[in-house]
Amino acid sequence: MNHSLRRYLISLCLLPLFSSAQSNWTIMDMVHNNPGEAPTQTEFNSPDTLRSYGYNAKVFFLFDAAQFGIDWTMLNPDIMPE
């Protein structure tokens, strides 16, 4: 094998070891409390624990979601008639 080809192959194999590209993956927590049962006791309810494991997104529970804090009547009274 010629010397330049060998050097190219070695550098190609070592490249992933020294690359610092960020991951484009979204890792979400999926801890879910079943209605009518006691809340799940887990360290994965803590944002600090999730961050330490590399999670970068949160799945909100149905009634913790932001859309329940919006007064839709200001936008269009026909959306949620009183």
1 pLDDT more than 70: no
Q: What angle do CA 22, 49, 52 make, to 5 degrees?
A: 30
Q: What is the pTM of this model?
A: 0.44
> What are the residue boundaries of the structural domains of the chain, listed by start?
22-82
Which pLDDT belongs to residue 18? 61
Which pLDDT belongs to residue 19? 61
Structural tokens at position 79 = 């959306």
Mean pLDDT for the stretch of residues 73-82: 71
* Model confidence pLDDT, tens digit, residues 30-77: 777 777 888 888 888 888 998 898 888 877 776 666 666 666 677 777
DSSP annotation of 75 reads T
